[in-house]
């Protein structure tokens, strides 16, 4: 096994290239961001869906487009024992659409508003902000063709980033629809053909598969060609133009700043009309923290009816790398410090009682000295210790110690002890 595949030195293992372990306390920061996101999603009316991390390969080939970079070269695809081709999901939108159709979700009434979070897999060259296993948070609003749906998901994404104090630039565009896009594709194709020698080899290939992909290229030589290319906005048909204006008007009215960039296209073929990205102006090529758009034909591609939809996904690693301002950590709770066998037993049962009441609470399992137990409490972020020693047992009281102030007081160890602790902590 090569190192890339995870073997380390001397028989120890490493996580596969492009994947990472998220350990405490970093994992706790992730959890707080996830909790905040799901609370926000819920407040906008999105309900959670859990999907398989693998799908039949066809879901992505058809859903994302055979010509996309993802389908052509970035999927983790394998055969199961029955010879079927399965793929680890490179994104979640196609799976959501597949599930929507499979479970006839339209029957419960439209729109169906779903949110999700979890790992995605793309076989890309790893670098900062780009991993082979990464995590997305996202929402999909399925069933509405109205610009208010587009504006809602954009504002939700914006709210999330603002709640974390992350400053981004919102870039919006329309990629048109089946009416007007063909004329643009032709014009762009004609323009690019004339300047094909200036394009990178990858873009010359992209021209064959889907010329729009060229607009996404980050190579410097291609950027110059792209800058002179015809823009999408000149080709939009009146309905697409109106749709975009209506979305922009709502964003404006809601006070959301954005820039319109008419060369913004996305790396997936399912988009129609609105596309958008929240970019970090300080990051280089991997500058999109979140992205999404409207996809009015994906549900049909998955075998369903003509159901329009719009959504976005946020890259969790990129959000964490952007230094989010996390909400205050919940420090309430007590660490039980026990001295002696009988006290340990009592503390164990008290901890169980506290936890069943929903408290954050912990105690020593390592046979540590009282002083070491208090140090452990501090290390775990507890401000208060509830001390139970021989004196306490004999005298029928508990000692509540405030590690921050260094003060302590006695509480009676009667049936109201939990109330008394709660009162002191609140005070
Ligand atoms: P996407 O632009 O491919 O869109 O990915 C969305 C976000 O996922 C990116 O903006 C980025 O933050 C993150 N991301 C993508 N690839 C990587 C990677 N290799 N490493 C780390 N982060 C990454 C979608 O996936 C669509 N499903 C979005 C959508 C939802 N459109 C409609 N609904």
pLDDT 10s digits, 78-136 = 999 999 999 999 999 999 999 999 999 999 999 999 999 999 999 999 998 999 999 99
For residues 403-417, average pLDDT? 93
Ligand 1 atom closest to the Cα of residue 294 is 32
Ligand 1 atom closest to the Cα of residue 130 is 20
pLDDT score at 425: 84
pLDDT 10s digits, 182-236 = 999 999 999 999 999 999 998 998 888 888 889 888 788 898 899 899 999 999 9
pLDDT score at 207: 86
Ligand 1 atom closest to the Cα of residue 319 is 12
pLDDT score at 330: 62
More confident residue, 139 or 380: 139
Q: Which residues line ligand 1 (CB under 6 A)?
A: 91-93, 122, 124, 129-131, 134, 136, 138, 140, 267, 288-293, 295, 311-313, 315, 317-318
What is the SS3 string spanning the chain? Answer: CCHHHCECHHHCECCCCCCCCCCCCHHHHHHHHHHHHHHHHHHCCCEECCCCCEEEHHHHHHHHCCCCHHHHHHCCEEECCCCCEEEECCCCHHHHHHHHHHCCHHHHCCCEEEEEEEEEECCCCCECCECCEEEEEEEEEECCCCHHHHHHHHHHHHHHHHHCCCCCEEEEEECCCCCCHHHHHHHHHHHHHHCHHHCCHHHHHHHHHCHHHHHHCCCHHHHHHHHCCCCHHHHCCHHHHHHHHHHHHHHHHCCCCCEECCCCCCCCCCCCCEEEEEECCCCCCCCEEEEEEECCCHHHHCCCCCCCEEEEEEEHHHHHHCCCCCCCCCCCCEEEEECCHHHHHHHHHHHHHHHHCCCCEEECCCCCCHHHHHHHHHHCCCCEEEEECHHHHHHCEEEEEECCCCEEEEEECCCCHHHHHHHHHHC
pLDDT 10s digits, 324-379 = 998 666 667 999 999 999 999 999 999 999 999 889 999 999 999 999 999 999 99
For residues 154-160, average pLDDT? 97
Residue nearest to atom 21 of ligand 1 (CA): 130
pLDDT score at 47: 98
Distance 317 CA to ligand 1 centre (A): 11
**Average predicted confidence (pLDDT) for the chain:** 93
pLDDT score at 206: 85
Please report, rounded to a whole number, the percentage of residues in the chain having pLDDT higher than 70: 96
Distance 316 CA to ligand 1 centre (A): 10
pLDDT 10s digits, 2-38 = 345 545 556 799 999 999 999 998 999 999 999 999 9
């Amino acid at each position: 096994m090569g190192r890339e595949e995870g073997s380390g030195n001397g028989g120890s293992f490493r996580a596969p290239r492009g994947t990472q372990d998220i350990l405490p306390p970093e994992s706790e920061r992730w959890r707080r961001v996830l909790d905040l996101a799901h609370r926000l999603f819920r407040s906008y009316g999105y309900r959670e869906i859990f999907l398989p991390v693998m799908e039949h390969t066809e879901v992505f080939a058809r859903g994302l487009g055979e010509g996309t970079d993802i389908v052509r070269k970035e999927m983790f695809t394998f055969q199961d024992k029955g010879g079927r081709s399965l793929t680890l999901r490179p994104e979640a939108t196609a799976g959501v659409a597949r599930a929507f159709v499979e479970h006839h979700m339209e029957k419960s009434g439209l729109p169906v508003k779903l949110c999700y979070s979890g790992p995605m897999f793309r076989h890309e060259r790893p670098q900062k902000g780009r991993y082979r296993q990464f995590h997305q948070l996202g929402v999909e609003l399925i069933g509405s063709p109205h610009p208010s749906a587009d504006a809602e998901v954009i504002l939700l994404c914006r709210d999330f980033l603002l709640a974390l104090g992350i400053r981004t630039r919102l870039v919006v565009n329309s990629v048109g629809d089946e009416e007007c896009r063909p004329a643009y594709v032709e014009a762009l194709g004609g323009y690019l053909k004339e300047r094909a020698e200036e394009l990178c080899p990858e873009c010359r290939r992209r021209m064959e598969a889907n010329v729009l992909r060229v607009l996404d290229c980050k190579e410097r030589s291609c950027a110059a060609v792209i800058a002179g290319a015809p823009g999408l906005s000149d080709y939009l048909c009146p309905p697409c133009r109106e749709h975009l204006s209506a979305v922009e008007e709502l964003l404006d009215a809601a006070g959301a700043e954005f820039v319109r960039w008419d060369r913004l296209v996305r790396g997936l073929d399912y988009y129609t009309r609105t596309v958008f990205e929240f970019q970090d102006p300080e990051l280089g090529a991997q500058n999109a923290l979140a992205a999404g758009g409207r996809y009015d034909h994906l549900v049909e591609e998955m075998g369903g009816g003509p159901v329009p939809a719009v959504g976005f996904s946020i890259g969790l690693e990129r959000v964490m790398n952007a230094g989010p301002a996390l909400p205050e950590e919940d420090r309430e709770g007590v660490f039980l410090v026990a001295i002696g066998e009988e006290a340990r037993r009592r503390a164990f049962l008290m901890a169980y009682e506290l936890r069943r009441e929903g408290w954050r609470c912990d105690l020593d399992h390592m046979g540590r000295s009282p002083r070491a137990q208090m140090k452990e409490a501090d290390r775990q972020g507890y401000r208060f210790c509830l001390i139970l020693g021989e004196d306490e047992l004999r005298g029928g009281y508990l000692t509540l110690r405030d590690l921050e102030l260094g003060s302590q007081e006695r509480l009676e160890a009667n049936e109201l002890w939990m109330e008394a602790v709660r009162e002191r902590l609140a005070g």
